[in-house]
Structure 1
Amino acid sequence: MRSTVADVMTTAVVSVTEDSGYKQIVQALVEHGVSALPVLDAEGRVLGVVSEEDLLHEEFKGVGGGGDRRPPLGSRLRERLRSSAAPSAHSDEDAVATTAARLMTSPAVTTRPEAPVVAAARLMARRGVKRLPVVDDGGTLVGVVSRRDLLRVFLKGDGDIATAVDAEIGFFLDTPDAARVSAVVADGVVTLAGTVRRRSGARALARLIGRIDGVVAVDDELAWETDDLLAPRTEP
């Protein structure tokens, strides 16, 4: 069975509200070691996401180009958090007045608990984000899924993968064909060998095996007795 987002997501989610101030956001990012936070309304619905990049944009507002090299954003956020209680020549009034509602990226890129893990991974890649808020039918936050969470499905041992592959072979193929097919799993790569009756069955089986959680690739060495995919010849 294919894993869904609900299988790998984190349900203990750190979030901020739309009226959270700049320093509150910085503190949440630093203390919890995350790169982005969902922004919620009073009912817990996701309005947007505020990230380190959003804060970086705020820091550089009004700063011109040039060769000025600055420490990484995470270091600057921690330094700002340490110094926020002490007055300085550089006032933080603008930052304090800046709320999550103004800083966030909206609408948020979200996913659903029932979405397949592979679909969430493709959404992350397509939209260029590292974390996805997970919402229910009403848009209420129920979890967060990160790239690291999605990678967990590929950490399954070869033994577990082999068990799933054997079950898929037995379910998909008729008994005579299943008995003539072997599967070897090494580092997540499944090698299929043997002979089945029809070429279409061999191709379909290889596709199904490739969809098993943890399978990195399928080396299809299956042979067939009848090529039922060969296009029929037409009379001239």
Structure 2
Amino acid sequence: MPGTPHTVSDVMTRTVVALRSDTTFKDIVKAMERWRVSALPVVDGDHRVVGVVSEADLLPKEEFRDGDPDRYARLRRLSDLTKAGARLAEELMTAPAVTVPADETLAQAARTMARRRIKRLPVVDAEGVLQGIVSRSDLLKVFLRNDEDIAREVRREVVAFLFPDPVEPIGVEVRDGVVTLTGRVRDTSIVPVAARLVRAVEGVVGVDCVLLGAPRRPDLDPDLPAVAPVGEAGGDPTDRSGSRSS
């Protein structure tokens, strides 16, 4: 139904600086400074990702540089103390690395970053070989999509699919990524489905769905309640109404 979502391979950076396990502490800092990144993947001899070194892994050396740690630090921060004395990437890296396949959707990658609280992910193939890197800013590129492109996809992939024979033409307006649907449809039970599918279109910031059912016919439907959008006074998801979603 809706068009194939963009995947990590569509937005990732393919030229990646990687570290060897024997890269020294100072060379790691130099690489981060030169390439203006806060983390670097560590690879083995076959270019498989085995870990990641971030600025957080390097900071303990400075934190514990000018004094002996107290008893609390020795008990609770053993890992940081170990890294404070580390000299090579293999001693500093966080392992195993959190990685992402190139064919994963941007939404899936975003969920991984949010749940693991990380800013970037090494992109690997089925063998774990490094293919690229994807960052938070890469995932946000979909919101640079222009309103006209979004409107065309909504009309083609959602409106034409769900409402091939509407009571009146369905209006699709997009402004700053916010999609507004207007018009009348024969089956209002699928209006919430339309809102969800529109929200899933890449680049959409929000959805205002004001789709209504067929107009009341007093002579034929004397008991039919007046039409009101769902969520407003008198609205009912089971009547011939629309819904508003954001």
Per the normalisation by structure 2, the TM-score is 0.75
2:185 aligns with 196
User: What secondary structure does 1:19 align onto?
Assistant: coil
The answer on 1:122 being equivalent to 2:140 is no
1:112 aligns with 101
The answer on 1:215 being equivalent to 2:218 is no
The answer on 1:162 being equivalent to 2:151 is yes
Q: What is the correspondence of 1:5-154 to structure 2 with a 5 Å cutoff? A: 5-61=8-64, 63=66, 98-154=87-143
User: What secondary structure does 2:179 align onto?
Assistant: strand
Distance 2:38 2:64 in 1: 20
The CA deviation string for residues 162-219 of structure 1, in whole angstroms up to 9 with x for no partner, is 1111112344124322852111101000011112222232121111111111001111
Look up the equivalent residue of 2:89 and give its one-letter code. Answer: A
Structure 2, gaps ≥5 residues long: 69-83, 215-223, 225-229, 231-236, 239-246
User: What secondary structure does 1:115 align onto?
Assistant: coil
Does the 8 Å CA contact 1:195/1:223 hold for their aligned counterparts?
Answer: yes
Q: 1:26 to 1:204 in 2, by over 3 A?
A: same
Pick which of 5-14 and 216-225 moved more. 216-225
Pick which of 209-218 and 176-185 moved more. 176-185
Q: 1:223 to 1:21 in 2, by over 3 A?
A: same
Distance 2:167 2:133 in 1: 40
For the aligned residues, what is the CA RMSD?
2.5
Q: Which has the higher contact order (CA 8 A, sep 6+)?
A: 1
Number of equivalenced pairs:
202
Identity %: 47
Does the 8 Å CA contact 1:40/1:47 hold for their aligned counterparts?
Answer: yes
Look up the equivalent residue of 1:219 and give its one-letter code. Answer: D
Distance 1:145 1:135 in 2: 11
Q: 1:121 to 1:191 in 2, by over 3 A?
A: same
Per the normalisation by structure 1, the TM-score is 0.78
Does the 8 Å CA contact 2:158/2:197 hold for their aligned counterparts?
Answer: no
Structure 1, gaps ≥5 residues long: 66-93, 231-236
